[in-house]
A and B are shown apart, each in its own frame.
Chain A
C-alpha cells in the first residue's frame, strides 16, 4: 500500500511540475511589455502539397502570419474526396472551423447549409475592393455565403487542338454534323474526336449533360426547375438529352472506350495529341501541356441536334467556390475581423493574378482589375468565353446525393450500352423525389 501511495504521489508531483513549468513559461510571456493577444482562425483549406492550390495556400498563410504576428491561421489542408468527407465529419462532430473553402451550391454548400453554418458576408465585403456586380447571390434573399475565387466557373468547355484539326483538313466545327464528319479521318489517324474522362461519373454530368439539356430545352435553368419540381427528369427533353449521349458514342464522336478514361488520362491524351477535342471544365486549361495549350482553342459546343435558339452557343457555369466565414467564426468579432483581414490578403491583386495565370479561375472579381497583357493565350480565351457565352445551370450545383449519383452512373451505362435513356431518367426522377 505504501509503495502504491509513493508511486501515485511521485506521478502527481511530476505531472504538477510539468504543468507548473508550462504555466511559468506562459506567465513570463505575459509579463513585461504585454504582447497583444493572438487570434486563432481555425480554417479548412483546399489543396494538397502537390498542386498549385495547396502550395500557394501554404505560402500565403506563411507570409500573412509574418506580416500579422497576432493572427494565426490554424489550417487543415485537404483535397478532393478527403476534403468533402472531412467537412461532413467535422460538422457532425461539432468541430466547426471559423473559415472554410466552400460554395453556395448543392455540392459545395450542402453540408454548411444543413449545419446552418452559412454566413451572409454582404455587410462585411469591401465594395471598394471587390466588384459586387461579379459576385452572384447565393441564398434565397441574395445572401453571399463565400467570396468566390473568380467569376462563374465554366464546366462545359470544348478544348480544340487547332493544329491537329487543321492537319486533317478541317476547321472549327459549327455544328454537331461537322464533328461527325471528322470521325473517319480521325479514326484512320488513330485519334479520338472528342475525349472525355468518362470513367469519372461527374464529368458526364458537369461537363457534358449540363450543356446538352440546356441547349435542347432552350431553358438555361431547366435543371434547377427540375430539382424544384417544375420540370421532371422523365420529360421528353431530358430523355432526348440522354439519348444524344448514346448517339455521340454511336456516331464515333465520343469513343466507345470513354468510360475507361479517367481525369488524368483525359488531360494526358489531349496534351499528347491523341484527341482533336477534349471536354472538361475551364480549370483544366492550366494542366494542358504548354506547347499544346498554345494551339488550343476554348469554345462552347457547336450547334447540337434539336438545339433551341434561346440557348444557342451557351455554356454551363456554376458560381465559383472560394473561402467564407462560418456562422461560428463570425460570432466572435476578433476572429471575424482577423479572418476578413486574411481574406483581403488572400484575394490580393498579386495572388489573384497568380491564380489567373495558373488557370485556376476564369476572371477576377476585384474592382477595377486590369488584366495583364502578357497572359498566356489560353487564359485570355477563357476570359473571352466567359464574357461572350450565355451561362446555364450545372447539374450537380442543384442535384445532389443519390439522384445525382444515379444520373452520373446512368450516363456511363448509356455510353456503354448497359442502360436506356428512359430507364436512367426514370431512376433519377424517382430518387430526386424521394426524401
Chain B
C-alpha cells in the first residue's frame, strides 16, 4: 500500500497519526469548541441547552469599555516588546559580539538570567519593588529628600504601564539578545573588517551592515514578541494586586480570565470569555500578517 508520493502509507499513518490525534485533541478541539461557544450563551458550569445567539457576545465585547482599555494596554505591551525589548536586545548582542565590553560571558549571563526565573517569582519581585516604602519608593525619598514620597504609578490607569513595561524589558530582553547573538555568529567577519578598512564607524557598521543582514531575525523576533505580548498573562497578573492595580493594568487575557472565571453575575460568562479569547487570536494573526507585510516591503532576508 503506497501513498500519493509513493511512500509506505501505513507506516506514514502510524508515525503521523498519534501526533495528529494528540494535536486534534489538545489544540484543535479547544479552538473549535471556543469558536462555537462564542456564538452561544451556553454555560458549561450550569449545563443545559446550547442557544445560538449569533454575534451577541462579540457585539457586547466591542461595546465594553474594559475591552478597549485592555486592548490599549495590550498594544502598549506589544510596543514595549517590539520597540523596546528587540532593539535593546539587538544592541546588547552587538556590543557583546564586537567585544566592546570586558567580561562578555558575565554580562551575557546577567542579561539572560531572568529567563531562568519563574515569571511569577519575577512578578512578585517587582511588586515588592513598587510597594509602599519599597526599594523604588526609598530611592525616590532619598533623591527628593521627601520622606513621605511614594512610587504611585501603579495606582493610575495612565501611568501603570510604565513600571510594567520596564519589568517586561528587564525580563525578556535577554531572550532576544541571545537570539541575535546566535545569528551574529553567522555574519562573515571579513565583511566587517573590510568596512573598517574603508573607514566605517561602529555605528555605521551596525546600521548599514548588521541590521540589513539580520532583518529576517528581526522579523521573526517581532512575530514572537507580538504573539507573546497578546497572550501574556502571568507577569502582569502577578505584578499587580487584585483590585485597582489589576484593573488599571488589565490586558486582554486578564480581562478574559476575570470575565469567564469570576463574573458570576453573567450567566453567559464562558461564552463571553470565549469571544474575548477568539478576539486575541484574530488580533495576533492580524498583527503578525502586518509584520510579514512590512518584512516583505523592506525585503527582510538574511544574506551572510
Contacts and interface: CB of A to CB of B under 8 A. Distances in A.
A201 B244 contact: yes
Interface of B: 1, 8, 10-11, 14, 43-47, 127, 130-133, 137, 148, 150-152, 154-156, 241-245, 247, 257-258, 260-267, 270
B265 A114 contact: no
A110 B258 CA distance: 15
A400 B258 CA distance: 12
28 contacts: A1-B1, A1-B8, A1-B10, A4-B11, A85-B257, A88-B261, A94-B44, A106-B264, A110-B264, A114-B43, A115-B45, A115-B46, A200-B243, A204-B243, A257-B152, A258-B132, A259-B244, A260-B130, A260-B132, A260-B137, A260-B154, A261-B131, A401-B263, A405-B262, A408-B244, A412-B243, A416-B152, A435-B265
Given A4-B11, A115-B46, A409-B244, A265 B132 contact: yes
Contact of B155 (A106, A111, A259): A259
Contact of A413 (B244, B264, B267): B244
Contacts of A434: 265
A65 B43 CA distance: 37
Consensus secondary structure, chain A interface: helix
Nearest to B130: A260
Contacts of A260: 130-132, 137, 150-152, 154-155
A204 B47 CA distance: 35
A61 interface: no
A101 interface: no
Chain A, interface size category, equals: 35 or more
A111 B241 contact: no
A200 B242 CA distance: 5
A172 interface: no
- Which secondary structure dominates where chain B touches chain A? loop
Contacts of A258: 132
Contact of A202 (B43, B243, B261): B243
Contacts of A201: 241-244
Give the residue among B155, B247, B258 with the most A Cβ atoms within 10 A: B155
A147 B127 CA distance: 37
A121 to B, nearest CB: 22
A291 interface: no
A202 B247 CA distance: 13
Contact of B14 (A8, A88, A418): A8
A91 interface: yes
Contacts of B266: 401-402, 435
A412 B156 CA distance: 11
A106 B151 CA distance: 35
A60 interface: no
A199 B249 CA distance: 14
B244 A412 contact: yes
Given A106-B264, A114-B43, A262-B127, A199 B14 contact: no
Contact of A92 (B152, B264, B270): B270
A431 interface: yes
Interface in A363-413: 400-403, 405, 408-409, 412-413
A93 interface: yes
A401 B244 contact: no
A7 B130 CA distance: 61
A431 B66 CA distance: 13
A270 to B, nearest CB: 14
A84 interface: yes
A4 B2 CA distance: 12
Contact of B241 (A85, A257, A262, A416): A262
Contacts of B242: 81, 200-202, 408
A1 B43 CA distance: 50
A88 B127 CA distance: 27
Contacts of B1: 1
A200 B47 CA distance: 33
A279 B257 CA distance: 29
Contacts of A401: 262-266
A4 B10 contact: yes
A221 B45 CA distance: 30
Nearest to A81: B242
Given A111-B264, A402-B263, A418-B156, A88 B245 contact: no
A233 to B, nearest CB: 14
Nearest to B248: A409
A115 B260 CA distance: 15
B45 A88 contact: yes
Given A4-B8, A262-B131, A265-B132, A403 B243 contact: no
The 6 closest A-B CB pairs, nearest first, are A201-B243, A260-B132, A401-B265, A412-B244, A92-B44, A199-B241
Contacts of A3: 11
A202 to B, nearest CB: 6
Given A3-B11, A93-B44, A260-B130, 12 more contacts: A4-B14, A115-B45, A115-B47, A199-B131, A199-B245, A201-B242, A257-B148, A260-B132, A405-B243, A409-B244, A434-B265, A435-B266
B154 to A, nearest CB: 7
A266 to B, nearest CB: 10
A85 B244 CA distance: 20
Contact of B265 (A115, A261, A431): A431
B121 to A, nearest CB: 14
B155 A408 contact: no
Given A265-B131, A412-B243, A84 B261 contact: yes
A414 to B, nearest CB: 10
A135 B262 CA distance: 27
Contacts of A202: 242-243
A114 B264 contact: yes
Nearest to A91: B45
A202 B258 CA distance: 15
Contacts of A257: 132-133, 148, 150, 152
A8 B151 CA distance: 66
B155 A92 contact: no
Nearest to B261: A88
B258 A405 contact: yes
Nearest to B238: A81
A402 B241 contact: no
A408 B270 contact: no
Nearest to B262: A401
A363 B242 CA distance: 29
Nearest to A8: B14
Nearest to B237: A81
